């Protein structure tokens, strides 16, 4: 990658907790989807009471489930969101550079990277703000 | 929720026989006359059902309600009332050493009910009433939560969450049939694995499942001939407890006369249920948990 902003930190670009969907183990799928819709993001992070990241739920996960799960939508909606989340998702530590994060996003073909510091979710790297930062906008 | 993570519900305080309901445990019978009619009858039923359960070695909980608040007609028998009813239940605990259960239909009755009953029941029609669920949880007793005839099994999770939010994690979920149009119930056996996913054991209410709600104009009818068929199906499906209302003289029963099981058939049906349950546990050991096409 050729950019003048190789030294930009992850913490300066990541979205803070309040700006992206964060739900708990008790959150049902329907509420998680509403949270994603309200915050205009295709991803929700599931955390436990200590704020540790348990999994992430994405639009793609839901799309695949809609095509495979045959139960009524009302039954699907009341499942816990965590049941349909990816457990142990790809994450990045805030100590890495933004460049490392972009390389990882490219390698894993993901748009969003939860930023995790010692198991605790501290933010979310979303591809668009990252691109803007790297383009020095 | 995997079945082997299922909570075990322990019913019984003080000097009664403790009964455990849960994964790979013996099938528990919950039964008795629908309503407490009078002390003599309640005692006779406790004695006669107790003898059958002792003979078959089936753990059991005596069920009878002091106030049936969901009668179709204003003239129908309601029960003995809370004070005398709970006194009779308390005396049955004392005399027979069996845990007891009654439902309650008013949040103000909850505390008194929990002070006597080992298991507190929430009527199907009230299964989503927050005030009832909150009051039930506050008793500190295990809760027998019946699925409303109008509820999907997955939506019972909301009622479970209401109980949990008020400190209760000892819950048995029961299916008593689901409305199919008017005055008709059907049993969806998938309700058991679905409700199991809440993490709690499940119970089949056989005698209310064959009910034809208010089909007789101002009282309910019932097709009792189907009780053994549904019992075998539900036990084979993997229930943890079986509920049946039993009466020694159904024709003259003061409540649910068209659905209560005649006492003379109880031993036969419980014996079948016990064999089915034990066979089901053998199948579980031999073939493991059902894991066909998991999501």
B276: CB partners within 8 A, 6+ apart: B231, B232, B235, B236
Residue B251 lies in a domain: yes
Which pLDDT value is given to residue B72? Answer: 78
Q: What is the mean pLDDT of chain B?
A: 95
Q: Cα distance from B197 to chain A (closest Cα, Å)? A: 10
Cα–Cα distance, B149 to A27 (Å, whole number): 26
Cβ distance B154 to A74 less than 8 Å, yes or no, reads yes
Q: How many domains does chain B have?
A: 1
Which chain A residues are Cβ-neighbours of B295 within 8 angstroms? 65, 68-69, 83
- Between CA B241 and CA B275, with CA B100 as vertex, the angle to 5 degrees is 30
Q: Is the model's pLDDT at B281 over the cut of 70?
A: yes
Q: How far apart are the first and last CA of chain B?
A: 12
**d(CA A84, nearest CA chain B) in Å:** 9
Task: State how far residue B111 is from chain A, nearest Cα, in angstroms.
Answer: 29
A118/A107 Cα distance (integer angstroms) = 23
Flag whether B292 is in a domain: no
Q: Is residue B295 part of a domain?
A: no
Q: What is the pLDDT of residue B77?
A: 81
Establish, for the pair of chains A and B, how many residue pairs have beta carbons separated by less than 8 Å.
18
Q: Is the pLDDT of residue B2 over 80?
A: no
Confidence check: pLDDT of B177 > 50: yes
What is the mean predicted confidence (pLDDT) over B101-125? 97
CATH number at residue B243: 3.20.20.70
Q: Is A75 on the interface with B (CB under 8 A)?
A: yes
Distance CA B159, CA B129 (A): 8
Q: Quote the CA–CA distance of A22 and A34 in Å, as a whole number.
A: 11
Low-confidence ranges of chain A (pLDDT < 50): 1-2
Classify residue B157: in a domain, yes or no: yes
pLDDT value at residue B76: 80
- Is the CB of B169 inside 8 Å of chain A's CB atoms? no
Domain extent for B283? 3-287
Tell whether B128 lies on the interface with A, counting CB pairs under 8 A.
no
> Does residue B277 register a pLDDT over 50?
yes
Contact criterion met (CB < 8 Å) for B161 and A68: no
Q: Under CATH, which architecture does the A10-134 domain have?
A: Roll (3.10)
Residue at token pair 């003898």: B51
Q: Find residues 181-210 of chain B whose CB sits inside 8 Å of chain A.
A: 194
- Across the interface, whether the CB atoms of B155 and A65 are under 8 A apart is answered no
Does the structure show a pLDDT above 90 at B4? no
The pLDDT confidence band at residue B3, using thresholds 50, 70 and 90, is: low
* Rounded-to-5 percentages of helix, strand, coil across chain B: 40, 20, 40
Residue A73: closest C-alpha in chain B: B154
Instruction: Write A107-113 long-range contacts (CB < 8 A, 24+).
Output: A111/A42, A111/A43, A112/A41, A112/A42, A112/A43, A112/A56, A112/A58
**Distance (Å) from the alpha carbon of A134 to chain B's nearest alpha carbon:** 40
In a domain, B199, yes or no: yes
Locate the domains of chain A by residue range: 10-134
Q: What is the pLDDT of residue A6?
A: 62
Q: What are B32's strand-pairing partners?
A: B245
Q: Is A68 on the interface with B (CB under 8 A)?
A: yes
In sequence order, which residues have a C-beta less than 8 Å from that of residue A75 and are 6 or more positions away?
B152, B154, B194
The 10 Å CB-count burial string (b at 16+, else e) for B40-73 is ebbeebbeebbebbeebebbbbbbbbbbbebbee
Least trusted range by pLDDT, from A80-84, B48-52, B287-291: B287-291
pLDDT attached to residue B70: 79
Query: Does the residue B294 lie in any domain?
Result: no
Is B268 a member of any domain? yes
């Amino acid at each position: 990658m050729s950019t003048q902003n190789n030294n930009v930190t992850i913490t300066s670009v990541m979205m803070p907790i309040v700006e992206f969907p964060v739900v708990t183990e008790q959150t049902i799928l329907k509420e998680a989807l509403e949270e994603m819709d309200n915050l205009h993001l295709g991803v929700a992070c599931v955390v436990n009471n200590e704020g540790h990241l348990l999994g992430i739920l994405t639009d793609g996960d839901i799309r695949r489930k809609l095509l495979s799960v045959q139960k009524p939508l009302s039954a699907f909606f009341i499942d816990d969101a965590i049941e349909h989340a990816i457990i142990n998702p790809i994450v990045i530590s805030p100590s890495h550079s933004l460049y490392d994060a972009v390389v990882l996003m490219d390698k894993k073909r993901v748009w969003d990277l939860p930023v995790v510091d010692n198991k605790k979710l501290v933010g979310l790297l979303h591809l668009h703000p990252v691109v803007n930062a790297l383009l020095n906008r | 929720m995997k079945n082997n993570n299922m909570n075990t519900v322990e019913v019984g305080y003080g000097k009664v026989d403790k009964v455990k309901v849960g994964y790979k445990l013996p099938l528990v019978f919950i039964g008795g006359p629908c309503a407490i009619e009078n002390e003599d009858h309640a005692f006779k039923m406790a004695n006669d059902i107790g003898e059958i359960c002792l003979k078959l070695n089936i753990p059991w909980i005596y069920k009878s309600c002091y106030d049936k608040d969901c009668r179709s007609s204003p003239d129908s028998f309601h029960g003995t009332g809370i004070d005398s009813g709970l006194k009779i239940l308390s005396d049955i605990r004392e005399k027979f050493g069996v845990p007891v259960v009654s439902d309650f239909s008013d949040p103000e009755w909850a505390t008194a009910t929990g002070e006597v009953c080992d298991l507190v029941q929430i009527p199907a029609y009230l299964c989503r009433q927050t005030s009832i669920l909150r009051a039930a949880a506050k008793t500190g007793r295990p809760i027998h939560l019946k699925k409303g005839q109008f509820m999907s099994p997955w939506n019972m999770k909301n009622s479970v969450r209401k109980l949990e939010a008020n400190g209760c994690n000892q819950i048995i979920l029961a299916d008593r049939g689901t409305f199919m149009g008017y005055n008709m119930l059907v049993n969806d056996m998938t309700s058991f694995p679905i409700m199991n996913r809440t993490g709690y054991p499940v119970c089949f209410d056989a005698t209310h499942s064959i009910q034809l709600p208010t089909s007789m104009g101002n009282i309910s009818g019932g097709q009792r001939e189907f009780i053994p068929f549904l019992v075998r199906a539900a036990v084979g499906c993997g229930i943890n407890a079986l509920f049946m209302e039993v009466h020694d003289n159904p024709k003259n029963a003061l409540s649910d006369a068209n659905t209560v099981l005649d006492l003379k058939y109880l031993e036969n049906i419980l014996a079948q249920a016990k064999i089915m349950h034990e066979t089901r546990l053998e199948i579980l050991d031999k073939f493991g948990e059902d894991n066909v096409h998991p999501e």
